[in-house]
Structure formats: C-alpha cells, structure tokens
Amino acid sequence: MTDDPHVSRSGQPGGSTRAALQADCRSCFGLCCVALPFARSADFAVDKPAGRPCAHLQADHGCGIHAELRVRGYRGCTVFDCFGAGQQVSQVTFGGHDWRESAATARAMFAVFPVMRQVHELLWYLAEALDLPASSAIHTQLRAMQGRIEALTRGSAEAIVGLDVNALRAEVGPLLSQASELARSQVPGRKQDRRGADLIGKKLTGAALRGASLRGALLVGADFTGADLRDSDLLGADLRGATLNGADLRGALFLIQAQLDSANGDAGTVLPPTRTRPAHW
C-alpha cells in the first residue's frame, strides 16, 4: 500500500535480494487489496470476497485510509506482508499489465498472486538462513534451493498457479531446521523445545527462552514482558496480541516484520537490527 513505512523504495522484482523480498507497493497494482478475501472480524471492518477491490482502493492503487487503517478497523492490512510478490507478479509475470485491463488478466493475476506470495516467503526464509554465519556448513544446499525457487518465480502464470507449494515447503523445511539447529547450538546451556506449543494467553514474564524453539507455537495474547528471547526460533509462531514489553529479541531466528506488527511492545523491547519498531508500539 502506498506510503507504507515498511515499503522498500529501491526494491526491484526478480531475485531474492533483501530489496526484492520487500513489498514495493509503487510497483504493484494493489493486488493484496483486490485478490485476497477479507472476513469481518477484529482484523477487518467488513467482508470482502477474493477478486473484489477493497472500497478504499484508489485509482492509483493506493489506499485511501492508509494512515487510519487501525482506527478504521483494518488492522489486518497493517500486518500483511507479500514479501515482494506484488511487484513480481505485476512487473515480471504480467510484464506491467494492470488487472484492470481485462477480466481475463484480472482472473489470472488474482490466481497467481497468493501462490507467488507463498513462494516469496520461502525465499525470504532461505535468505535469512544464508545470513546466519553458523549455517555455513549448509550454505551450498541453501543456495541451490534458493536458485531453484527463484527460477520458478520467473515462470509463466500457468506454471506458477500449478506449483505444489506444500511440496516446496516440505523440501525447504528441513534446511531451515538445520540452519536453526546450527545457530542455536552456539547458545550455551539447555534450550527449551516448545515447537507447536499452545501458549495462548500464558503469563511468561521474565521467561528464560534464549535459544528456544518456538517454531509454530501459538503465542496469541501471551505475556513475554521482560522475557529473554534471544536467538530463539520464531518461524511461524503466532504472536498476535502478544505482549513483548521489555523483551529481548536480539538474534531471533526467522522473525518476520508481520509478527512484530501483530504484537504489542514498547520502547524497552530490544529488536534485531534488521527489524522495524512498529508505529503502534
């Protein structure tokens, strides 16, 4: 969405550089505001079916209420990240053709976008794994997988829609797990394994979770005030409404910006240098 503070100004579609895996809304045709459905809830003020433009989408593909999304009931929009899939679909897959040009183009773009978004998310995690010095032993495998998936993103619209994303995840997952194990093995002491744990609403103030695996854990509404989450694996952890006041997240593995945007924190929350402190904190 135009003027989003998390949007890259310099990202170019294609490739898995950091810039290319950040949303560049100025190079996208507002696909997240059209292709995806909204369900009326705490995250969205209204119902919107897939393929119907949001009522607030403007002619230039910008959001008419961007500065007021949270107060207008569109919190879900503020935590969505396409990982650069929007500009890839708009400028590469469809060569700059707007979905408004024809019904056929619109149908095809709306089918490609959610698949591309999932594929770009995998590329983002692979890039994160490659940034870990401790994972150097598997960098060759990581780069090979990265190159293979990048090639898939340059395929035709038909080829992308036909991708088996679950199969790709099944191949990427073990590599990310290895990278995580290698990185967390550098942390002294015993590490907790809370993968997939149901910790919804749990009071975990001051918890010693350095190097823990919280992969896929349900952390909705959990209180991590003052917790030590350094070097913890947070891949896929659901942090919606979690309290991170004063928590230390330095070195957190696979922590995406959307997870932070969905949580609550304060000036005392310590973040990895590559993450941005959400405006609502």
* Mean of pLDDT values over 115-143: 97
Size (the chain), residues: 281
Neighbours of 112 (CB within 10 A): 25
Q: Which of 2.160.20.80, 3.40.50.1100, 3.30.70.100, 1.10.490.130 would CATH assign to domain 188-281?
A: 2.160.20.80
| Tokens 């898995």 found at | 16
The mean pLDDT value of the chain amounts to 93
* Mean of pLDDT values over 73-81: 94
* Mean of pLDDT values over 106-110: 98
Instruction: State in Å, rounded, how far the first CA of the chain is from the last one.
Output: 20
Q: Phi and psi for 231 in degrees, rounded to 5?
A: 60, 15
The β-bridge partners of 228 are 208, 248
Dist CA 162 CA 30 (whole Å): 23
Answer for the pair 41, 13: CB distance below 8 angstroms, yes or no. no
Nearest to 108 by CA among 87, 81, 84, 89: 89
pTM of the model: 0.90
- Please name the helix (run of DSSP H) or strand (run of DSSP E) that holds residue 141, with its range, or none: helix 139-153
- Which pLDDT belongs to residue 170? 98
Dist CA 255 CA 278 (whole Å): 14
**Predicted confidence (pLDDT) at residue 34 exceeds the cutoff of 50:** yes
- Burial class of residue 162, CB neighbours in 10 A (0-12, 13-18, 19+): exposed
Contacts of 132 (CB under 8 A, 6+ apart): 179, 182, 183, 253
Percent of the chain with pLDDT over 90: 92
Instruction: Classify residue 87 by its DSSP letter.
Output: H
Cα-based angle 172, 253, 150 (whole degrees, multiple of 5): 35
CA 122 from chain center: how many Å? Answer: 9
- Which pLDDT belongs to residue 14? 42
- Which pLDDT belongs to residue 79? 92
**Predicted confidence (pLDDT) at residue 139 exceeds the cutoff of 60:** yes
- Which pLDDT belongs to residue 2? 37
**Predicted confidence (pLDDT) at residue 215 exceeds the cutoff of 60:** yes
Q: For 35-52, write each residue's pLDDT tens digit.
A: 999 999 989 999 999 999
| Tokens 């990265």 found at | 146
* Mean of pLDDT values over 78-93: 96
Dist CA 265 CA 243 (whole Å): 6
**Predicted confidence (pLDDT) at residue 6 exceeds the cutoff of 90:** no
Residue 224 confidence class, pLDDT cut points 50, 70, 90: very high
Cα-based angle 227, 172, 35 (whole degrees, multiple of 5): 85
Where in the chain are the domains? Answer: 25-182, 188-281
Q: For 154-208, write each residue's pLDDT tens digit.
A: 999 999 999 999 999 999 999 999 999 999 999 999 999 999 999 999 999 999 9
Residue 1 confidence class, pLDDT cut points 50, 70, 90: very low
